[in-house]
Amino acid sequence: MARKSKPTQLSRTTRERRSSSESLLLTDGLPVLEIYDTTLRDGAQAEDVSFSAEDKVRIAQKLDELGVHFIEGGWPGANPKDIEFFRMIKTVPLKHATVIAFGSTRKASHFVREDPNLQALLAAETKTITLFGKTWSLHVTDALGISLTKNLELIGDSVAYLRSKGRRVFYDAEHFFDGYKTNPEYALNSIRKAVEAGADRVILCDTNGGTMPWEIREICEVVRQECAVPLGIHAHNDCDMAVANSLVAIETGIVQVQGTINGIGERCGNANLCSIVPNLELKMKRPALTDRLSRLKEVSGFVTEIANLMPNKHQPYVGDSAFAHKGGVHIHAVLKNSATYEHINPTQVGNRQRVLVSDYAGRSGLLDKIEAFGIKLSKDHSKVQELVNTLKERESQGYQFEGAEGSFELLMRKAMGSHKSSFQLLGFRVIVEKKQDDGAPLSEATVMIKVGDVIEHTAAVGAGPVSALDHALRKSLEKFYPQLMEVKLLDYKVRVLAANQGTGSKVRVLIESGDHKDKWGTVGVSENIIEATWQALGDSIEYKLLAKE
């Protein structure tokens, strides 16, 4: 490692600022921790992940329910989708989290008041802005192509300008650890500049993800002596060290930890909050989510489903296999005392114990899942076993109900005998026709349904087979249920469940629908994508009509 920089003598103002910030943050001798989620920005940069603005709003609501302190919504100067998100999130009441806009310091070619990126950050109208700047001299000279002195000017006047507009500023010291290892004095000068300009937090970023835990510890201890404001850690996982590096940084006194749900992110991903948070609370006894840890698995599954990713069942804490037991010796012991092979009680993170070679987990295991959706039943209820069997059968077929709350509620109501279908399908047909190579295909759907004693036979066209089927179904039902005219199909996702069957593989279709006051998800599974779509569309309509029951 490069030499340590000797701490400089702090000015009186700097000493007073540090004393003030620490007195606000210390509780029982330990700093109060801040959980900063960047799933919607850094996580969205992961390969195979693409969030719509609607997706991001739904995830932000889940993160707020989980109790995270800060939600980084995106880079409003980078793309229209993030601009739309910040417009939409203003109307969404959040109880716990603060939404933050993210962007870079000004360009060297722009005056600070004329820089488009800074103006876009202000236009997002968030009370707090996270601003990143270069702290590694290599990036300053080779990536930006400017002098080291000029880069310090960009940092200082960008932070000062946003502060002058009444914004709180968190400064992301990009590539800080690589910068410190090659030129420690310059790396420290870059964060000094941000603090002098008014930054409220300085976040030390291991942007390339190549720093080891012992390096993190040594450098963080130096920086804590140098920096007058509370520090944060932002670690990437290129060496599979992001969680360890984050925890080590917190041990040194850093107060803010940044990461993503499930660790999604560019290249090898970001620090995984689904591991960091339970490690903080359960292993290090450092409160982080104020008694909301039991929602962790639910939020993990929700983000996986909305991101349209295959769930990692072996993920610590929240994976389906995290507390699953298959070996005979393990099962025999864990049924006597779960502590023999489980390092925590799985319910602490919203998970459950699973015994893979028997049905011991039957009622009690699946009741936990049922109760997670707000349905309370006693183990002795006459419908419980029927409900358990139905859920097991559906899950074995490939159904997942995270992100499909509408389908789950319908399933529960049907199993309890409290739901009567609003219509009966008699048949459907979908035709896709293309007459010319350069012409657009024509999609037409015909449905035959029965409502009471009345049979409706309706056809409609659409931009594609899903659109045509959706139009035909709602067209046939709107005369019976006028409230369906306000329903819109907001999102449509398809996941191949077993690619080894080629074009004959099962697919899972997840649909998000909404009206003027609500949104809901529904799911369908089949080897035929149109059949799976029909199931999800039918559930979407049925869920909307639940209000009349």
Secondary structure string (H, E, C) spanning 420-437: CCCCEEEEEEEEEECCCC
Specify if 515 maps to a domain: yes
Q: Is residue 312 part of a domain?
A: no
Both 162 and 247 in a single domain? Answer: yes
- Cβ-based neighbours of 222, under 8 Å, separated by 6 or more: 4, 5, 7, 184
Q: The tokens of 470 are what?
A: 């959706």
Distance CA 192, CA 418 (A): 64
Residue 83 lies in a domain: yes
Tell how strand 454-462 and strand 488-496 pair up.
unpaired
User: Do 495 and 468 belong to one domain?
Assistant: no
161 and 302 fall within a common domain:
yes
Give me the mean pLDDT over the 473-483 stretch: 92
Give CA torsion, residues 473, 486, 94, 168, to 10 deg. Answer: 110
Percent of the chain whose pLDDT exceeds 90? 65
CATH assignment at residue 464: 3.30.160
Is 5 part of any domain?
no
* pLDDT greater than 60 at residue 6: no
Residue 37 lies in a domain: yes
- Provide mean pLDDT across the span 88-94: 95
Domain endpoint, select from 464, 480, 496: 480
State residue 514's pLDDT score.
87
pLDDT of residue 15: 46
Does 446 map to a domain? yes
Computed over every residue of the chain, the mean pLDDT equals: 87
Judge whether 498 lies within some domain: yes
Same domain, 488 and 466: no
Tell whether 129 and 208 lie within a shared domain. yes
Mean pLDDT of 194-205: 97
Average pLDDT rounded to a whole number, residues 92-115: 95
Query: What's the pLDDT band for 290 if we cut at 50, 70, 90?
Result: confident
Of 277, 306, 335, which closes a domain?
306
The pLDDT of residue 40 is above 90 = yes
Q: Residue 329 — pLDDT band, cuts 50, 70, 90? A: confident
pLDDT of 211? 98
Q: Coil, strand or helix: which one is 2? A: coil
User: Domain limits at 446?
Assistant: 423-480
Alpha carbon dihedral 323, 329, 332, 338, in 10-degree steps, equals -40
* Residue 414 sits in the same domain as residue 299: no
Give pLDDT, residue 9.
41
Same domain, 297 and 233: yes
Per-residue burial over 308-326, b = 16 or more CB atoms within 10 Å of its CB, e = otherwise:
beebbeebbbbbbebbbbe
Q: What is the pTM of this model?
A: 0.71
Which position has the higher pLDDT, 235 or 4? 235
Question: Would you call 76 helix, strand, or coil by DSSP?
Answer: coil
Are 471 and 528 found together in one domain? no
Q: Which CATH number covers residue 493? A: 3.30.160.340
Instruction: Check residues 2 and 243 and name the one with the higher pLDDT.
Output: 243
- Number of folded domains in the chain? 3
pLDDT for 51-75, tens place per residue? 999 999 999 999 999 999 999 999 9
169 lies in the same domain as 122: yes
Helices assigned H by DSSP within 328-404: 328-336, 362-372, 384-397
**Higher per-residue confidence, 362 vs 294:** 294
Instruction: Indicate whether 290 and 207 sit together in one domain.
Output: yes
Q: pLDDT, tens digit, for every residue of 125-162?
A: 999 999 999 999 999 999 889 999 999 999 999 999 99
Which of 306, 326, 351 corresponds to the end of one domain?
306
